[in-house]
Amino acid sequence: STDTFNYATYHTLDEIYEFMDLLVAEHPQLVSKIQIGNTFEGRPIHVLKFSTGGTNRPAIWIDTGIHSREWVTQASGIWFAKKITKDYRQDDTLRVILDNMDIFLEIVTNPDGFAYTHKTNRMWRKTRSRTPGSLCVGVDPNRNWDAGFGKAGASSNPCSETYHGKFANSEVEVKSIVDFVTKHGKIKAFISIHSYSQLLLYPYGYTSDPAPDKEELDQLAKSAVSALTSLHGTKFKYGSIIDTIYQASGSTIDWTYSQGIKYSFTFELRDTGLRGFLLPASQIIPTAEETWLALLKIMDHTSKHLY
């Protein structure tokens, strides 16, 4: 059962998909599994939906693992899924959120890349699509969105780790989310989780123009970061992508924000100790716990400031 599932170790794609089915079977009144598409190599792309009822409610989207080697993010996504089912009756904040909104959680956003990190190359980051005319494989799925696509802050070289792809949404893993979000039409917060470098970022990445909602996003990021730090003391910085790290074009949250999803954030989770993507499994749960506090802040604010 998901009570005996081990959250303190890394899991394969099959184990994670099995976990999802277990969770749905244990909580059919709360959790359902949606397939939003198939990957380049034909794997199903699954999203968990947490809903206490109603139809076409406003919703919150959380995704992990868009960069496949960032294993602590998928592992945290599994922990979040279990946390929601455990807490939704007893945690007042979460109960109010779920009384008014649905939560969509995509734990493995890049299944082909993730499977490849287990089988062949633990350092793999991109998708596994093929680029005609190049021996190099894959596109950076966080440079492939239709927001400043192809501008400075991504590479046009198919061999680069930040290759943006032939055209916006060329990657089916990205297009599947675009279609889902567009069709749903009432996503009010979109949170994409990466690792590492302990950052909470909001738009924009492709331009230094401030986002119209910068003040509110900055205040919310500040409060989310202080909630995160309060648990284990992990220090985070926050700000717009371009001000806090560098120019990045075609990124997820620049597109979601351009779609009117005001509360668009990207996390870069911890590495507090020189291990980078190879974060020891012993840090999965502490990382997920602290991130959850920040997520709750963002979801709580969203549910109280629907627009």
In the set 173, 268, 289, 290, the catalytic residue is 268
Q: How far is the CB of 259 from other proteins (least distance, A)?
A: 26
Q: Give the 3-state secondary structure of residue 251.
A: coil
Residue 217: CB partners within 8 Å, gap ≥ 6?
Answer: 202, 203, 211, 262, 263, 265
State the Cα–Cα distance between residues 1 and 143, nearest whole angstrom: 37
> In the complex with other proteins, which residue's Cβ is closer, 173 or 268?
268
Q: Where in 14-73 is the site for other proteins (CB under 8 A)?
A: none
Q: Is the Cβ of residue 171 or residue 268 nearer to other proteins in the bound state? A: 268
Find the shortest distance in angstroms from Cβ 9 to other proteins.
4
- Known active-site residue 26: no
For residue 141, the minimal CB distance to other proteins (Å) is: 16
Tokens representing 104 are 């969509």
Q: Least separation, in Å, of the C-beta of 125 and other proteins?
A: 8
Is the CB of 89 or the CB of 119 nearer to other proteins? 119
Min dist CB 42 to other proteins, Å, is 22
β-pairing verdict for 237-240 and 263-269: unpaired
Among 25, 34, 152, 278, binds other proteins (CB under 8 A): 278
Per-residue b/e over 238-275, b at no fewer than 16 CB within 10 Å? Answer: bbbbbebeebbbbbbbbbbbbeebbbbbbbbbbbeeee
208 is a contact residue toward other proteins (CB under 8 A): no
Nearest Cα residue to 277 out of 100, 123, 75: 123
- Cβ closer to other proteins: 246 or 307? 246
**Under rule CB under 8 A, residue 277 binds other proteins:** yes
Interaction pattern, residues 97-136, with other proteins; x per rule: CB under 8 A: ----------------------xxxxx-------------
Q: Report, in Å, the least distance between residue 278 CB and other proteins.
A: 5
Among 9, 35, 134, 219, binds other proteins (CB under 8 A): 9
Q: How far does Cα 247 stand from its chain's mean position?
A: 20
Q: Which 217-256 positions form the footprint of other proteins (CB under 8 A)?
A: 245-246
| Axis crossing angle, helix 71-87 with helix 284-304, rounded to the nearest 10 | 60
SS3 238: strand
Among residue numbers 155 through 184, which ones bind other proteins (CB under 8 A)? 159, 161-162
Nearest to 127 by CA among 170, 78, 71: 170
Q: Give the residues across from 94 on adjacent strands.
A: none
Separation CA 75–CA 23 (nearest Å): 15
Angle between helices 92-100 and 284-304 (to 10 degrees): 50
Burial class (CB in 10 A: 0-12, 13-18, 19+), 232: middle
Residue from 2, 10, 147, 206 binding other proteins (CB under 8 A): 10
- Please choose, out of 9-17, 33-41, 75-83, 90-98, the segment that lies near other proteins by the rule CB under 8 A: 9-17
Our CB check for other proteins shows the closer of 231 and 245 to be 245
Among all residues, which ones are annotated catalytic?
A: 268
Residues at the interface with other proteins (CB under 8 A): 6, 8-11, 119-123, 159, 161-162, 196-197, 245-246, 274-278, 280-281
